[in-house]
Amino acid sequence: MRQVAKIVFWVILTLAALWLLWAFRGAFVLLLLSIVVASAVRPLVDALHERGVSFKLAIALAYGVCLGTIGLLGYVLATRLLVEIPAAADHFVESYGHHFERAIHEFRATAVAQRALGSTFAALDLIGRVTLVIVLSIYWTGGGDAFDRLWLSFLPLERRRAARAVWFATRRAVGGVLRSELGLSIAAAVPLSVGFWLAQCELWALGTVAVLLLRFIPLIGSPLAVAAAALAASPSGVLTTIIATAIAIAVLAALRTVVAPRFFSLERPLDPTLDVLVILALAGSFGLAGLIAAPLVVAAIQTAYAEITGIQDSEDRVPRMEDLVGRAARLERRLTWSSPSPAVASLFARLQQLLDRAATSR
């Protein structure tokens, strides 16, 4: 009866924990994102600290440079997109409006105002969430492994070592993927923007953002990105379209062959098939956010699976105490038949002492 009550208690506790995670899934996702961001920035902080920079100053420099670069690029592209999106819509209406005359006439200004108001509130909410993630990630970076020690303390003592290994490896892998994707996006955004602008492409920011987003799609992402760059440059003329297409191909090729292997190499490359499945699942449910988060989820799944199976294999390879005692007995019989040297006899005596100590401590 006591065993049944114990099982029921753990079932109820597990279901309650799952319900709490689902009820506060937004806060839980922000917590995980902050830990991932901290893992992505931590190598930069450690590199600066090893060069003699104080730890607090290293955190300030690493986050300042990263946030400044991302913020500057985001501001330039976002302000330009506010101009280019209406221009692209006007071009679409001028070119293909006769096919959608009824839909265009039914479109109301009030719908535009409501959508603009909703987009404004969504942008403010996004800014608040991003700020919270950054503040928490700075705290995790400065606080070391306080959070890890906290949640690992809830596990049984015999499970902590395996859980710590899986957690640290997964966190390091996901942080590496985030650092790689952000670095590659910055490395691609600058030459794409400058190249499209010099080619006199009217929708250069729209083409840049399209290339940056479509390259996340495995296998067919690069062709789609090149096609998006050509489509964005098409209103500016044939010559601009050819130049923009060549720039997109050159930048994507440089990212794949030079920048990624040399500066942002991953310990475990992402599996394309798993990446496609995760993109289909997340993009269908969360849209653009799911597409961007898919590589992080794939890295977490791959690393956790590899670490868990590695731990199980290592546990299977560890011999049992009975096997060690049997091997020691066979070795003792062999030594009695021969005349071992004093060093070998001393080693075997030490082995017997260790086995006796291990047997008595069980």
Examine residue 83 and state whether it is found in any structural domain, yes or no: yes
Please tell me whether residues 191 and 332 are part of one structural domain: no
Please tell me whether residues 95 and 232 are part of one structural domain: no
Examine residue 7 and state whether it is found in any structural domain, yes or no: no
Given this model, what pLDDT does residue 362 score? 58
Examine residue 15 and state whether it is found in any structural domain, yes or no: no
Please tell me whether residues 139 and 207 are part of one structural domain: no
Q: Looking at this protein, which amino acid is placed at residue 162?
A: A
Nearest Cα neighbor of 93 from 85, 78, 134 is 85
* Phi, then psi, of 338 in degrees rounded to 5: -110, 180
Given this model, what pLDDT does residue 191 score? 92
CA distance 247 to 303: 35
Please tell me whether residues 203 and 298 are part of one structural domain: yes
Please tell me whether residues 208 and 302 are part of one structural domain: yes
Please tell me whether residues 164 and 313 are part of one structural domain: yes
Please tell me whether residues 49 and 140 are part of one structural domain: yes
CA distance 168 to 162: 10
Please tell me whether residues 42 and 54 are part of one structural domain: yes
Please tell me whether residues 357 and 245 are part of one structural domain: no
User: HSE-up of 15 (CA within 13 Å, CB side)?
Assistant: 6
Please tell me whether residues 327 and 231 are part of one structural domain: no
CA distance 234 to 244: 9
Given this model, what pLDDT does residue 250 score? 93
Examine residue 299 and state whether it is found in any structural domain, yes or no: yes
By CB atoms closer than 10 A (0-12, 13-18, 19+), residue 309 is exposed
CA 90-92-97 angle, 5° bins: 95
pTM, full prediction: 0.72
* Domain count of the fold of the chain: 3
Given this model, what pLDDT does residue 93 score? 62
Given this model, what pLDDT does residue 246 score? 92
Please tell me whether residues 52 and 131 are part of one structural domain: yes
- Given 98, 123, 144, the domain boundary residue is 144
pLDDT-flagged residues of the chain (< 70): 1-2, 4, 6, 10, 90, 92-126, 144-146, 312-321, 337, 361-362
Containing structural domain, residue 86: 30-144
* Residue 259: strand, helix, or coil: helix
Nearest Cα neighbor of 293 from 279, 303, 276 is 279
Please tell me whether residues 250 and 107 are part of one structural domain: no
